[in-house]
Chains A and B, each alone.
Chain A
Amino acid sequence: MSIAFFPGCTLSTKAAGYDISGRAVAQALGMAFEELADWQCCGATFPLATDNTMALIAPTRLLVQAQKAGGHVTTLCAICFHVLRRTQHILEHQPEMLERINWFTEEPYQGGARVSHFLELLREEFTWGALSGRVTQPLKGLKVAPYYGCLLLRPQAEIGLDNPDEPAILHDCLAALGCEVVDFPYQTECCGSYLAVSKPDLPEKLAHDILTSARRNGANAVVTACPLCQFNLDYAQRKEIRHTLEDTLPVLYFTQVMAVALGLDQDVWGMDKHYVDPLFLFSDLR
């Protein structure tokens, strides 16, 4: 079985590790990703000005591609997911907006495309129980803090993936993989997002608070579903590599943990470009 997949710009470059591990894991579970034939950047932000129709054209075009690929598209990048899900929602509720956007797209969007995040497919279609059954590599000693960030969950009314106050989807995924899951209070606090470009001190400070909280609650790794969260949390520790590894917290994508747990080969773990090298976490598995 194959599912239409939209990687997005960052997965194709800076977040290649997410892409490699994601595709490998999906393949291993029998849900091989079939990349959309034609795609472009989703825009990376959902337009918040009510009259900004321009910024909706790119994601609508992606929904058209999804339509052509059978009507259902999956994402890994939390931001792509956020943009597409909210675009689909607004077009469904504002037909005048849809009509206007269709003037600008090469092919009109008919409506009704389904946008999911890979975590949803795992939860609803594959199921956590089945995932547990596929684990061949116990992850001894891995104490993972699931970090959700913001855009995977909010706003709840339009995204509807999980409860932003008490999310469980990453917890459940990691628990199904046999990790010890560490709850910590900063799991939905913002990493600073695109301020990495304009005000880099802010993400550095926010990342520090998030990582400190995760560490204080006993985590030895942080898991995320967003390339920007991964970057902000990882990059903030770049100077700490010179100190002992006990001070650092590797920041992994959930698909990377899945790749290890499902016993896949190390070359699909995608762990070679982190600022804090996560490989030492898995060294005793060999």
Chain B
Amino acid sequence: MRTRISVDSVRGEFVHQIETISGQSLLACNQCGKCSAGCPVAFSTDILPNQVIRLAQLGIDDVLDSQTIWSCAACLTCVSRCPKGIDLPRVMEAMRQLKMERDGNQIETTDLSPEMVAEVPQLALIGGFRKYMT
């Protein structure tokens, strides 16, 4: 199905929410791709980080279903090299928050095996819970 683009999508509620939560102006991104080029996990994701921004720019909210936003490790490489200084980690966080608002937690404590909880440093658990749970 073709994607219908209109003023309701490009200036709609979804764009507004993402921009407010992240504090970023999405249209400042000219899609140069440097973020994607430097992202350590982008090789494994369904869409590239720059495409996450692209879909958001167009108000296409099924970007919230992408895997990319959950593979983001908040390493901050993208924002440190972006020629326009766009804070992608903040946009990714905004996406995660909106997704969880709609569909709930992405991880539950019961999902984790006792072995993993015993092995992994606490801060990974706390960080993971912070990112993946409301």
User: Interface on A for B, CB 8 Å cutoff?
Assistant: 8-10, 13-15, 41, 43-45, 47-51, 55, 77, 79, 150-151, 154-156, 164, 188-190, 192-202, 205-206, 227-228, 231, 235
Identify 20 new A-B residue pairs, CB closer than 8 A, beyond the known A45-B130, A196-B120, A228-B123: A15-B121, A44-B122, A44-B124, A45-B74, A50-B90, A150-B76, A151-B76, A190-B77, A193-B73, A194-B128, A194-B131, A197-B127, A198-B70, A198-B107, A198-B128, A201-B44, A206-B41, A227-B123, A228-B124, A231-B124
User: Interface on B for A, CB 8 Å cutoff?
Assistant: 20-23, 40-41, 44, 70-71, 73-77, 79-80, 87, 89-90, 92-94, 97, 106-107, 112, 116, 119-128, 130-132
Q: Contacts A43-B130, A50-B21, A197-B116 hold; do A77 and B75 have CB atoms under 8 A apart? A: no
Inter-chain CB contacts under 8 Å: number: 134
A231 & B71 in contact (Cβ 8 Å cutoff): no
A50 & B22 in contact (Cβ 8 Å cutoff): yes
B40 & A189 in contact (Cβ 8 Å cutoff): yes
Neighbouring A residues of B112 by C-beta, 8 Å = 197
A51 & B21 in contact (Cβ 8 Å cutoff): yes
Measured between C-beta atoms, what is the minimum distance from B36 to chain A in Å? 14
B71 & A202 in contact (Cβ 8 Å cutoff): yes
Neighbouring A residues of B76 by C-beta, 8 Å = 150-151, 154-155
Neighbouring B residues of A51 by C-beta, 8 Å = 20-21
Of B21, B97, B127, which is within 8 A of A193 by CB?
A: B127
B89 & A227 in contact (Cβ 8 Å cutoff): no
Taking CB as reference atom, which chain A residue is nearest B130?
A: A45
Instruction: Provide the bound-state CA to CA distance between A194 and B22, in Å.
Output: 21
Instruction: Provide the bound-state CA to CA distance between A199 and B132, in Å.
Output: 12
Instruction: Provide the bound-state CA to CA distance between A112 and B84, in Å.
Output: 31
Measured between C-beta atoms, what is the minimum distance from A61 to chain B in Å? 15
Of A44, A154, A155, A202, which is within 8 A of B127 by CB?
A: A44
A48 & B130 in contact (Cβ 8 Å cutoff): no
Neighbouring A residues of B44 by C-beta, 8 Å = 201-202, 205
Taking CB as reference atom, which chain A residue is nearest B73?
A: A193
- Residue with the greatest number of chain A CB neighbours at <10 A, chosen from B21, B41, B123: B123
Taking CB as reference atom, which chain A residue is nearest B128?
A: A197
Q: Contacts A41-B126, A49-B21, A197-B112 hold; do A155 and B121 have CB atoms under 8 A apart? A: no
Measured between C-beta atoms, what is the minimum distance from A75 to chain B in Å? 12
B126 & A154 in contact (Cβ 8 Å cutoff): no
19 example contacts (A-B, Cβ-Cβ < 8 A) are as follows A10-B123, A14-B120, A14-B121, A44-B123, A45-B127, A45-B131, A51-B20, A150-B77, A151-B76, A189-B40, A190-B41, A194-B127, A194-B128, A195-B128, A197-B124, A198-B128, A199-B71, A202-B41, A205-B44
Instruction: Provide the bound-state CA to CA distance between A15 and B23, in Å.
Output: 35
B73 & A194 in contact (Cβ 8 Å cutoff): yes
A154 & B21 in contact (Cβ 8 Å cutoff): no
Neighbouring B residues of A43 by C-beta, 8 Å = 126, 130
Q: Contacts A48-B89, A49-B90, A155-B80 hold; do A13 and B73 have CB atoms under 8 A apart? A: no
B40 & A206 in contact (Cβ 8 Å cutoff): yes
Instruction: Provide the bound-state CA to CA distance between A190 and B42, in Å.
Output: 12
Neighbouring B residues of A48 by C-beta, 8 Å = 22, 74, 87, 89-90, 92-94
